[in-house]
Chains A and B, each alone.
Chain A
Amino acid sequence: MANAFVAAFEILSFGAIIVLIVLGLGIIASMMGIFNFAQGEFVLLGAYITYLAYAKGLPIWAGMVAAPFVVGALGFVLEALIIRRFYAAPIVAMLGTYALGLIIREAVRGLIGGFYLTVPEPIGGSIDIGAMHISAWRFTIIVITLLVMGLCYLLLSRTSFGLRVRATLENPSLARASGISTPLIYGATFAFGAALAGLAGALIVPVFSLFADLGLRFLIQGFVAVMVGGVGSFIGPVAGAGVIGTLSAALPWVMAPVVADVLVFVLAIVFIKFRPQGLIAGKGV
C-alpha cells in the first residue's frame, strides 16, 4: 500500500514536471505554429538564473521569481529580432530556433563548464503521512503546476488578452482588420511561452541539478507530448504532456527501463500516425 502510494506520487510529480515544461512549448506551437527548438534552452536559462541567484547568496526564491521575467524578456527580444522572419516556413523556423538554442546552450556550457551543479530545494524535508514520506519540494511543484495551468487557462479563456490571442490564432487577417496588432500579440505570446519555460527550469533545477544538456533532455519528450495532445489548442498539449509524463514515469515500474524509455516514443509516434489531429482536436482554448 505504502509502496503503491509512493509510486503514484513519483508518477504524478514527474507528470507535473513534463506538463510544466510542455505548457510553454504547447502555447507557442498552438498559437503560432512554430515548433521552438530553443525551448529546452529557455528551460536551461531559467535553471541557470536560479543557480546564479543561489551562488550570489540571494535567496533561491528570488531567483525563481526572477527567472520567468528574464527569460520572457529575452523571448520577446528574440521574437522581434529573429523568430518573426520564420512564420511562413515551419521547417526553417525549426532550424533557426535550433541555431538559437545551440548558441544559448553553448554559452551556458561555457559559463558553468561541464559540471553538474546542485541547487538546494527551497522547501526541504519531507511531508509525512502516516508511515509514508513524500518530498515536500516535489509536492510544491505539483501544486505550482496546477496553479500555473489554471492561471494560463483563465488568461486565455477569460481575459481580453486571451481573446486577442485566440483571434490572432484563428484568423490573422481578420484580427488585423479588427484592429488587433498581430505582431505585438505574436511577440507577447512567444514571450509568455518563454517565460513559462523559464519558470519550469527554475522549479526543476533542485530536482535534476544544473547541467548544459538539461533542456535537451526534455525537448523531444515535449515535442512528442505536443503532437500526441494535438496542436491548435491550449488544453491539447497539456493533455498530451500528462499522458507522456505519466507513461514515462509509470512504465519503468513494470518493465526494464530501457525498453520502457523507447516504448513510450514508439507508442507515441504510432498514435500520432493514426490520429494526426492528436488527443484533443480543434482550435481554441
Chain B
Amino acid sequence: MSVVREAIVADADDEADGAMAEGAAAERANDRAKAGPKILPIVEGLVLLAALLAPLVLQDYLTVFATRVIILALFALSFDLVWGYAGIMSFGQALFFGSAGYGVALLARDLNVTNIFLVLPAGTLIGLTFALLLGGFLLLGRHPSSVIFVSLGTLTGSYAADRLARGWYYLGGQNGIPSIAPMSLGSYDFTEGPAFYYLVLGILVVVYLLCRFLVRSQFGLALAGLRENEQRIAFFGYKAQHLKAIIFTIGGAVAGLAGSLYAFHEGFVWPNMVGVVVSTQVVLYVLFGGSGTLIGAVIGAVIVEGVSFWLSDNYRDIWPIILGLLLLLVILFRPLGLISFVLGERERVGSFGAKIKENVKETRNAP
C-alpha cells in the first residue's frame, strides 16, 4: 500500500514527497498542504453555511428551487465519484437516477407506499441494482473494457431506457407518471418547502461526509491511482476492474437516492429523467465545478442551475448556447473546473488513509 502511495504522491506532488522525506512530525505528514492555508475545508464550510441560511433569506418559490438544486447536487456527487475519482466516464448516470424515480413513483402509485423509511432505501436499492448489473456487465469480464466502450455503453443504456419508458404504457409513456403522493413520515407529509429543503440538505451532508470518508480512505487512494494510471494499479496487483465495478455501483446507489428524492419533490417522473438529456446535464455540473473534488460537483450543480434559472427569464433561447460555449472554454482552458481557481493541485489530490502516521517511515524505507 505504501508503495502505491509513494507512486501516486510522486506523480502528483513531488514537493510533498520531499516534505515527508524529512521524516517530519506526524501532524506535518498528515497536513501536507502546510505551505498555505487549507482552502478545501473553508470552501466546504462556506457552502454549508450558505445552504443552511438559504431558506431564511429566500422567498418560498426560491426555496422550492433550492431544494431541487440540492437534490441535483446529490446526483452530481454520484457522477463525480465515478468520473472524478475512478475515471470511468458514465454517460448514463441518469439511468440510475431515473429508474429509481420511476421505481418509487410506482411504489407510491400502485402500492400506496410513501413512508420515507421505505421509499428512500428502495430507491437507493434500485439505483444500486441497476448500476451493479450494467456496471458488472460493462466493466467486468476476461478482457478489460476500453474507456470508449464503457462511456458509449452507458450512453446507449440510458438512451434505450428512455425509449423504453416512452413506449411502455405501464410507465405512462411520453407523459410519465404524474401527481405522485407526497413522501410521508407517520402522518406528516413532506411537501415542497423549508422542511423538505432541510431534509434533503441533511441527506446531502450525510452522503457527502460518507463520500469524503470513502475517497480519503485507502480505497480512495486506489481509485485515484486508477484514474491517473490504470495499468500501474493493475501491475501492483489490484483488481482494477473490481474496484471500478464497486465504485460504479456506489455511484448508482447515490444516484438512486437522488432520483427518488427528485421524484417525490417534483411530484412526477417523465422519460427525460432516465435519458440522455439528464445524463449529460450531470456531466456539465461536474465539469463546471471541478471533477475530482466532491465540493466541486456540488458547486457546479448550484452554479449551472442557478445561472440557468436566473437567465431563463430573459435569455431562455440563448442560454443553452452560452452554456455550450462556457463548457467548451472550461474543457479547453480549465479542465479541473471552476474550483481550480481557488484550489491548488496539491490540495485537490489530498492525502489518503487514516493511519498515515505509522506509514511515514515505511514509505521512506520502501525501494
Contacts of A268 in B (CB 8 A): 156
CA distance A23 to B317 in the complex (A): 32
CA distance A94 to B146 in the complex (A): 14
Say whether, besides A261-B163, A266-B160, A276 and B143 are in contact (CB < 8 Å): yes
- Chain B, 318-340, CB within 8 A of any chain A CB: 318, 320-321, 323-325, 327-328, 331-332, 335
B149 interface hit (Cβ, 8 Å): yes
Contact A96 B328 (CB under 8 A): yes
B280 interface hit (Cβ, 8 Å): yes
Residue from the list B138, B143, B152 in contact with A227, Cβ < 8 A: B152
Cβ of A112 to closest chain B Cβ, rounded Å: 11
B147 interface hit (Cβ, 8 Å): yes
Cβ of A252 to closest chain B Cβ, rounded Å: 11
- Chain A, 190-220, CB within 8 A of any chain B CB: 216, 220
* Interface bits B279-296 vs A (CB < 8 Å: 1, else 0): 010010001000000000
Contacts of B238 in A (CB 8 A): none
B8 interface hit (Cβ, 8 Å): no
Contacts of B328 in A (CB 8 A): 82, 96, 99-100, 103
Say whether, besides A106-B320, A106-B324, A35 and B148 are in contact (CB < 8 Å): yes
Contact A273 B321 (CB under 8 A): no
Cβ of A93 to closest chain B Cβ, rounded Å: 10
B contact residues, total (Cβ < 8 Å): 40
Say whether, besides A110-B321, A223-B155, A273-B138, A261 and B167 are in contact (CB < 8 Å): yes
A184 interface hit (Cβ, 8 Å): no
B168 interface hit (Cβ, 8 Å): yes
User: Which secondary structure dominates where chain B touches chain A?
Assistant: helix
Residue from the list B138, B148, B159, B166 in contact with A90, Cβ < 8 A: B148
B137 interface hit (Cβ, 8 Å): yes
Q: In the complex, what residue of chain B is closest to A270 when comparing beta carbons?
A: B137
B153 interface hit (Cβ, 8 Å): yes
Cβ of B116 to closest chain A Cβ, rounded Å: 33
Contact B157 A269 (CB under 8 A): yes
* Interface bits B285-319 vs A (CB < 8 Å: 1, else 0): 00100000000000000000000000000000110
Contact A220 B155 (CB under 8 A): yes
Cβ of B95 to closest chain A Cβ, rounded Å: 12
- Chain A, 85-134, CB within 8 A of any chain B CB: 85, 90-92, 94-96, 98-100, 102-103, 105-107, 109-110
Residue from the list B145, B147, B332 in contact with A96, Cβ < 8 A: B332
Say whether, besides A82-B332, A95-B283, A273-B141, A262 and B320 are in contact (CB < 8 Å): no
Contact A276 B146 (CB under 8 A): yes
Contact B163 A258 (CB under 8 A): yes
Cβ of B153 to closest chain A Cβ, rounded Å: 6
CA distance A224 to B159 in the complex (A): 11
Q: In the complex, what residue of chain B is closest to A106 when comparing beta carbons?
A: B320
Contact B324 A273 (CB under 8 A): no
User: Which secondary structure dominates where chain A touches chain B?
Assistant: helix
Residue from the list B160, B317, B325, B335 in contact with A265, Cβ < 8 A: B160
Cβ of B62 to closest chain A Cβ, rounded Å: 26
Contacts of A99 in B (CB 8 A): 324-325, 327-328, 331
Residue from the list B91, B157, B164 in contact with A258, Cβ < 8 A: B164
* Interface bits A236-274 vs B (CB < 8 Å: 1, else 0): 000000000000000000000110011001101100110
Contact B141 A102 (CB under 8 A): no
* Interface bits A217-233 vs B (CB < 8 Å: 1, else 0): 00010011001000000
CA distance A44 to B160 in the complex (A): 22
Contacts of B141 in A (CB 8 A): 273
Contact B168 A258 (CB under 8 A): yes
B151 interface hit (Cβ, 8 Å): yes
Tell which of B160, B163, B318, B323 has the most Cβ of chain A within 10 Å. B160
Contact A276 B332 (CB under 8 A): no
Contact B320 A102 (CB under 8 A): yes
Contact B155 A257 (CB under 8 A): no
Contacts of B125 in A (CB 8 A): none
Residue from the list A95, A105, A107, A272 in contact with B331, Cβ < 8 A: A95
Tell which of A100, A102, A216, A224 has the most Cβ of chain B within 10 Å. A102
B211 interface hit (Cβ, 8 Å): no
Q: In the complex, what residue of chain B is closest to A223 when comparing beta carbons?
A: B152
Say whether, besides A110-B317, A273-B138, A102 and B167 are in contact (CB < 8 Å): no
Contact B153 A103 (CB under 8 A): no
- Chain A, 35-60, CB within 8 A of any chain B CB: 35
Contact B327 A102 (CB under 8 A): yes
Cβ of A194 to closest chain B Cβ, rounded Å: 17
* Interface bits A129-163 vs B (CB < 8 Å: 1, else 0): 00000000000000000000000000000000000
Cβ of B324 to closest chain A Cβ, rounded Å: 4
Name 13 extra pairs, CB < 8 A, besides A94-B89, A223-B155. Answer: A91-B151, A96-B328, A96-B332, A106-B321, A220-B156, A227-B148, A258-B166, A258-B167, A262-B164, A265-B159, A268-B156, A269-B153, A276-B143
Sampled A-B contacts (18; CB under 8 Å): A90-B147, A91-B151, A92-B331, A94-B91, A95-B287, A103-B321, A103-B324, A223-B152, A223-B155, A223-B156, A224-B152, A227-B149, A265-B157, A269-B153, A269-B157, A273-B138, A273-B141, A276-B143
What are the 9 tightest A-B residue pairs by CB atom distance, in nearest-first order? A258-B167, A102-B324, A103-B324, A106-B320, A99-B327, A265-B160, A99-B328, A106-B321, A262-B160
Question: Interface on B for A, CB 8 Å cutoff?
Answer: 89, 91, 137-138, 141, 143, 145-149, 151-153, 155-157, 159-160, 163-164, 166-168, 276, 280, 283, 287, 317-318, 320-321, 323-325, 327-328, 331-332, 335
